[in-house]
A and B are shown apart, each in its own frame.
Chain A
Amino acid sequence: LSEPLPLTPESLKVSINSTKQCLHLQWTVHNLDYHQELKMVFQIQISRFKASNVIWMGNYSTTVKRNQVLHWSWESELPLECAIHFVRMRTMVDDARIPAPRFWSNWSSWEKADAQNSLGDHPLYVFPKDKLVEEGSDVTICYISRNHQDNISCYLEDELTYGKQLDQNVWAFELKNVSFHRKTGTNFYCKGQGVPEGVVLFVSKVLEEPKDFSCETRDLKTVTCTWDPGSDTGLIQLPSYTLFESFSGKKTLCKHRNRCDWQVTQDSQEVYNFTLVAENYFRKRSVSILFNLIHGVHPLAPYNLFPKSVSATNATMTWKVSSIGHNSALLCQLQLLGEGKVIQQHNISVRVNGEYLLSELKPDTEYMARVHCAYADHFWKWSELISQNFTTAEAAPSEAPDVWRDVTFVSGHPTVTLFWKPLSKVHTNGKILFYNVVVENLDEPSSLEVLSVPAPANSTKVTLNQSSYQIYVTAHNSVGPSPASAVAISGHPENENVEEGRVNGTEDGFHMSWKPQSRNATGYVVEWCDDPQNLPCVLRWKNLGPTNTGTVISSDAFRPGVRYDFRIYEISAKGMAHLLEKKAGYLKELAPSYNPEVATINLTSHSFTLSWKDYSTESQTGFIQGYYVYLKSKTGEKCHREFEKTVLPDNSVGCKYTIDNPDQKTLVVKDLQPESVYEFFVTPYTSAGEGPLDDFTKVTTPDDYSHILIHIILPMIFCVLVVMITCYLKSQWLKDKCYPDIPDPYKSSVLSLIKFKENPHITIMNVNDCVPDAIEVVNKPEGSKIQFIGTRKSPTETKGTKPVYLDLLPTEKNYSGPGPCICFENFTYNQAASDLGYCGHFPVTPQAPHCQLGPLTSPENLLKTLEQNYMNSLGEIPAGEANLNYVSQLASPMSGDKESPPANPPEPALCSEYKMQMAIPLGLASPAPSKNSSLSSTALLDPSEHCH
């Protein structure tokens, strides 16, 4: 031992573990003495691709025996298949027993590790195969290409990666901080011209340390430890969990990743030191706990919890518990729950069977009993709860129903509608089956009327006589009746003449108070309708004690903007109710929801009246305080008297008039301009505001003259109509009076003139005395020269005047045909003559009249003649050959040519008022007239010389 030994490593062998990517070295050290053990240091060099390229050098210290085969491994970050590795080592004794100096031995020869030899002849290889790495670590992947010309690209999943060339055929890709993709691995592949090749990289998440590691026992036989394993590592291969107990030195492989069972042995070990070890390919995590078996008892849940002998107020609960070793007792807690709340709680010590009497229960009530237990010797944790529901038995209702009435009188008989409120659950003590109504006539004590009203009805109607009654109402369930509720009815109408007051609503309801009228009042009742807008009224009432003079009426049914009417009754000692006060109010007043319909009446040129009398102020959303009347005119911006300028809700400017009396529902708008357009709008207002903005209504005032038209023109038209009607009705009389067909000289106004002049010589011609004119039909022979006809020249015509012709035979044929016509040339009405101012007619020859009227002296002759000549004129006388010449009935035939001027110019003479004209055949008119005279039928009449 005193000399340094020439110890060198021998038989060095290098092998490759592809799975772990390790170079495995094994060697021996010869020249050791028997039984000699030396501590030695081995220095190892590893080269890559060529021996001179040393990539790693390190020392390995160990104690060496003679002929001992030594092993050492080195993990390569580069897949070993991608490069040839060379390994050599040397040694040095590092034993304290060997004195210094110490020397390194010689290097061993290089040993080669070449995995490429085992590869096939594929053009491309990628390594390492199926590598398992931890998330966040680095990994190197390489490929070997047999084809130097091939341009190869490599991808991690679908992401191109860049590497570095290590050798002529070898490229390496260093993946930094790899991340987890999926449980089934991450594909890395390279592709060139040929078939792609690749590897699958399995990335594991970092194994977490188990959390919340704890242990407990349910039965002192098995210890169950639980923990939170944390997040999954993300590999198909799950980490393993092992439970160690240091005192006993035992361990167990856990079947679950979050729970492990440990069997308690019979050696009465109470304290355990558990260590949980979680382990995977990369890591090992552990956590420890010191567990006392007695302190960690978590009993199993009790079972068979049942109610026993349940009555209306009591119930006995029984249950069982799982026994724990050593005959230990359990502390059980029995809870009684009603409507989800714990109302009773009792602790009971139990070994096997538990039992407890629950009392003070309510009849017909569903309860839940639940129980859990804990280890009595050392409380640590309650067991799981078990529960059981049960319902207590029914009992008779404990309270009389709250009854109220509504009395109406029909034909003097009171009809009573009884209302009652359903008893609360607390008082029904069971299901109410029916209500009994007993009507007792106080005036006839022997008469009782019993009504049974099935539940759930809450009212009934009873018709009574005009007597006093006492009515009793009881509620019945399956056990029995409730106490009775009594109502007294007087049988006479109540006094309704009570002034109505107002009551303000608040968030709490309606605060109302009243003044008691009687000192003997036994109570008060306030009644109202919950929903007064819908009929029939859902009557509500509130009973109050005799000392109350006020209350707050609240209801979930109360709504803002609804008017509620309250009636307050005072209950007398006899149970009679007397109306005390009436109040109306709104929970919250709202602005009116609608506006009145306004009518425009009494429209004049300067005013009109607005009226909305149909608008009800009672059924609004608040107390109507008045009305706003808005007025707009197109002509001017100035407001009328009593109106004030305001900005309307639609931001336009208008005039506003305020009516502060809700009962005033008309307004006269005055001082308006005629023929102007006004727009108005009426809206009510409450304390909450005014009504909605509606459209304005247009009114156009009439002009000033329209009334004249009405007052003057219309009466005139009426008068004219009256006159016209009168004239029409009296037309005959008027005609006779004013323009008779044959004027009656006696009725002529001339008479008055005559009388006025008192000329006795002037008389009126009597028609009967008058010789009628004769018609002379001139039969003009053909070729004869009848100048009168042919030329139709007359003295008047020569003066440019046109003669007037009258048809004697007023037949239509006279107008239509061009046939022979009968014309009268009336010189009497010669315009020229009249223009001269002569009253008479010229030519008037004051010659002695011959009155040759022989053939026409009688009417018969005249008619005959007329007939004959007329027939002749139609049938025999060709057109133009016969003329009917006129011969004045009074004028004598003129001598000489008619065309020649008269020898004696006519002198103004008195003329008659009427000149009767008739046509007389020429042959009949005068005997053998001369050639000239025969042509003329002109007759001039001097009244003074004719037919007196």
Chain B
Amino acid sequence: MKVLAAGVVPLLLVLHWKHGAGSPLPITPVNATCATRHPCPSNLMNQIRNQLGQLNSSANSLFILYYTAQGEPFPNNLDKLCSPNVTDFPPFHANGTEKARLVELYRIIAYLGASLGNITRDQKVLNPYAHGLHSKLNATADVLRGLLSNVLCRLCSKYHVSHVDVTYGPDTSGKDIFQKKKLGCQLLGKYKQVIAVLAQAF
């Protein structure tokens, strides 16, 4: 599934997305003015770097917590069941300009945020007693939301980017439980991989 979206309003919607949000961002008019609700802080890039570092430091433990909670065959077949072969995952080019990198970062964070919402929703049903996993998923989603907001501020204030096309991962609500577990594991494997690259790039 691939949906294009653009505009400030969709960005604000993304900032307030809830678990399971997988709907595409609506396209806003191209000539919409770039404006943020609150003034951006001066040390924005530092905050972005810190948030990326924070996510990177917790990504592996989140991944382990997830596949452990799913039971066999996941812990012993990580290479196949949890391989980071996520189709349609937004690309990232570390050698691009800051603007390009920020735009790509924005897309990735939006993608991850939506997928993490799906995973959190599924796991609350599939593993209702895995409170540690739920807590970690929620904390990661919170940081992702903050990061998305900061990237938006940066794009808007410095580069006057008013809209970014974003894509989302597949909605897992209609899939069987094993597929939900597998897709979640693949996504978190990909997340662990890509967040390390992002933390390094910024």
Selected interface stretch from A181-189, A449-457, A604-612, A735-743? A181-189
Given A195-B80, A196-B80: A189 in contact with B178 (beta carbons within 8 A): yes
Asked if B73 and A198 sit within 8 Å, CB to CB, the answer is: yes
- A848 CA to B89 CA in the complex, in Å? 170
The size of the chain B interface, using a CB distance under 8 A, is 20
The residues in B between 27 and 77 inclusive whose CB is less than 8 angstroms from any CB of A are 70-74, 76-77
Nearest-CB distance from A356 to chain B (Å)?
A: 53
Please give, as numbers and ranges, the residues of chain A lying within 8 Å of B128 by CB-CB distance.
Answer: 183-184, 236
Asked if B177 and A200 sit within 8 Å, CB to CB, the answer is: yes
Asked if A157 and B80 sit within 8 Å, CB to CB, the answer is: no
Nearest-CB distance from A394 to chain B (Å)?
A: 58
Nearest-CB distance from B179 to chain A (Å)?
A: 8
- Contact among A155, A189, A200 for B176, CB-based, below 8 A: A200
Asked if B80 and A200 sit within 8 Å, CB to CB, the answer is: no
Nearest-CB distance from B183 to chain A (Å)?
A: 11
Please give, as numbers and ranges, the residues of chain B lying within 8 Å of A196 by CB-CB distance.
Answer: 73, 77, 80-81
A75 interfacial contact with B, CB 8 Å: no
Nearest-CB distance from A120 to chain B (Å)?
A: 12
A257 interfacial contact with B, CB 8 Å: no
- A130 CA to B177 CA in the complex, in Å? 6
Given A187-B73, A191-B77: A198 in contact with B127 (beta carbons within 8 A): no
Asked if B73 and A183 sit within 8 Å, CB to CB, the answer is: no
Please give, as numbers and ranges, the residues of chain A lying within 8 Å of B178 by CB-CB distance.
Answer: 126, 129, 187, 189, 197-200
Please give, as numbers and ranges, the residues of chain A lying within 8 Å of B1 by CB-CB distance.
Answer: none
The residues in A between 142 and 178 inclusive whose CB is less than 8 angstroms from any CB of B are 155, 157-158
Binary A-proximity of B171-184 (CB < 8 A = 1, otherwise 0):
00000111001100
Given A157-B72, A184-B127: A195 in contact with B177 (beta carbons within 8 A): no
Nearest-CB distance from B89 to chain A (Å)?
A: 17
The size of the chain A interface, using a CB distance under 8 A, is 21
- A189 CA to B71 CA in the complex, in Å? 11
Given A129-B176, A129-B177, A195-B81: A182 in contact with B71 (beta carbons within 8 A): yes
Please give, as numbers and ranges, the residues of chain B lying within 8 Å of A126 by CB-CB distance.
Answer: 178
Please give, as numbers and ranges, the residues of chain A lying within 8 Å of B181 by CB-CB distance.
Answer: 200
- A183 CA to B178 CA in the complex, in Å? 15
Nearest-CB distance from B144 to chain A (Å)?
A: 26
- A198 CA to B71 CA in the complex, in Å? 12
Nearest-CB distance from B2 to chain A (Å)?
A: 18
Asked if B176 and A130 sit within 8 Å, CB to CB, the answer is: yes
* Dominant SS among interface residues on chain A: loop
Asked if A187 and B71 sit within 8 Å, CB to CB, the answer is: yes
Binary B-proximity of A190-209 (CB < 8 A = 1, otherwise 0):
01001111111000000000
Asked if B126 and A184 sit within 8 Å, CB to CB, the answer is: yes
- A161 CA to B126 CA in the complex, in Å? 24
The residues in A between 682 and 710 inclusive whose CB is less than 8 angstroms from any CB of B are none
Nearest-CB distance from B120 to chain A (Å)?
A: 15
Binary B-proximity of A126-150 (CB < 8 A = 1, otherwise 0):
1001100000000000000000000
B129 interfacial contact with A, CB 8 Å: yes
- A126 CA to B77 CA in the complex, in Å? 17
Please give, as numbers and ranges, the residues of chain A lying within 8 Å of B176 by CB-CB distance.
Answer: 129-130, 199-200
- A167 CA to B199 CA in the complex, in Å? 51
Asked if A183 and B77 sit within 8 Å, CB to CB, the answer is: no
- A308 CA to B87 CA in the complex, in Å? 82
Please give, as numbers and ranges, the residues of chain A lying within 8 Å of B129 by CB-CB distance.
Answer: 183-184
Asked if A155 and B72 sit within 8 Å, CB to CB, the answer is: yes
Nearest-CB distance from B119 to chain A (Å)?
A: 15
Given A191-B80, A196-B81, A236-B128: A185 in contact with B73 (beta carbons within 8 A): no
Asked if B71 and A184 sit within 8 Å, CB to CB, the answer is: yes
Residue from B72, B83, B178 whose CB has the most chain A CB atoms within 10 Å: B178
- A194 CA to B125 CA in the complex, in Å? 28
Please give, as numbers and ranges, the residues of chain A lying within 8 Å of B177 by CB-CB distance.
Answer: 129-130, 185, 199-200
Asked if B73 and A158 sit within 8 Å, CB to CB, the answer is: yes
Nearest-CB distance from B149 to chain A (Å)?
A: 34
Q: Which residue of B lies closest to A200 (CB)?
A: B177
Please give, as numbers and ranges, the residues of chain A lying within 8 Å of B77 by CB-CB distance.
Answer: 191, 196
Asked if B126 and A185 sit within 8 Å, CB to CB, the answer is: yes
- A264 CA to B125 CA in the complex, in Å? 38
Please give, as numbers and ranges, the residues of chain B lying within 8 Å of A155 by CB-CB distance.
Answer: 72-73
Please give, as numbers and ranges, the residues of chain A lying within 8 Å of B70 by CB-CB distance.
Answer: 187
Please list the residues of chain A having a beta carbon within 8 angstroms of any beta carbon in chain B. 126, 129-130, 155, 157-158, 182-185, 187, 189, 191, 194-200, 236
The 3 closest A-B pairs by CB, nearest first: A129-B176, A200-B177, A158-B72
Please list the residues of chain B having a beta carbon within 8 angstroms of any beta carbon in chain A. 70-74, 76-77, 80-81, 83, 125-129, 176-178, 181-182
Enumerate 12 A-B pairs (CB-CB under 8 Å) in ascending A order.
Answer: A129-B178, A130-B176, A155-B72, A158-B72, A183-B129, A184-B129, A191-B73, A191-B77, A194-B80, A196-B81, A199-B177, A200-B181
